[in-house]
Structure 1
């Protein structure tokens, strides 16, 4: 077995020859994202005026794409579009609970640029994040959260597919959460809505794949976005803004050293939106520094040696 492996992996001057192909450990160009191949793509980003959506809009434009920033935060959305430049970005008011507004954002991309390559269904709300017992759950709040986080995503998938399927190409990305992977990280409403996003991605991925369209999810962990900071203020009203940020950046994570930022999710979205991910479909890309693979046992700590 090992002799066979040695025949497959033969040393070369600066890398390995693998079954006749050369893989260089110094080939920086092959390891760097190919922004040239992303240039010219057209994207709609819901919730694009702040947080992860804003960071992704900037990342897409930096790599040559043109974006429609679809949001309900008019002043912020117009400011982001102006910052990115009129040739690169346009703001469109879009309440994702209204299917006609989602359809209009998609149609605007096609009207302005003749195509839609990427749909990033990122808009979301937390709802009432105050801790409460099961018996005290407000079903009206549950319905509001589901309307934005789940039904709004379905509307985005539906109308993106409407224009992508005839072209037989496109990437649809949906923001889920580590709360969709693990219980007790958030309220039942938020957790259920994000689990629904994963279910939706899995339900439609195979169907649209037959038309050359890919559907994937990204599950971020805690980041100090405006939504998360508002949740911290609700959970810890007696603590400062700096303490809220530290909780989100440090206390809620396993990885020591790097701090996760909205730009990390933007780069994950960039990958899934690009041709580099041409065969990635129906996947949930978890960006959490390993948080969801760790579970401390419910037992006393062993004695130190």
Structure 2
């Protein structure tokens, strides 16, 4: 659902005729941020998540509310099914994508950063790990781990038995735990590391970059075939630092960097001659950067100037 075609809040009336539409609209709006968060965590794309919400809204408006015992669960079920369909279609689309694919970064409100569970569940680092799961594994993991939805409800949403869902959840959790950051870093610690990286970036100081990067740091850049980016991930502090300094050295432009909060975590917005050129998110462990995620694809930078509300409830 987008803002132009989506529902607006309405007056609560008996669920009949126009009153039924108003009541259905009110319920949908009340859960909209939750449904968007579910779809975004499953898809990694705000644009696709909005499309899923539009499909969910159209399906919801045909439902007889008198037959729905748990409206939240019903809406989450519709959103999950639509997200799964789109996720499978996206996997084919990503096969033709030019270069590395990164999630679409979202400018988030300060309260997202303060919610440890929410910030962790939408962090770029975790979203990238989720890309390595199958569509069903990703749906089960997101619904169970992020939103605490019961195995029975998940089973109804993904078309599996509760026993199968438990096995999928266990397998997905083990897969993610083996790849997610092992250390939880407080926001102020991540900001301090990011400030050091920012200073090294602005001065193009190779040694300062090496000091803030972990030896096996991985840089993933996403230009979508439109902007310059590394065609494959770059591993190793030396290679990453030289790639960054080399790229900045070639740019005969005015480059500025500003701190922001993307996906609930500290990040940098890079501007060239005053225009947004990209967003850099980081993964920090043991006071050094172990992951750099640089999104330059213009189609993925539409959500970094206005806040996107997210919620797990």
Superposition TM-score, scaled by structure 2 size: 0.24
Superposition TM-score, scaled by structure 1 size: 0.24
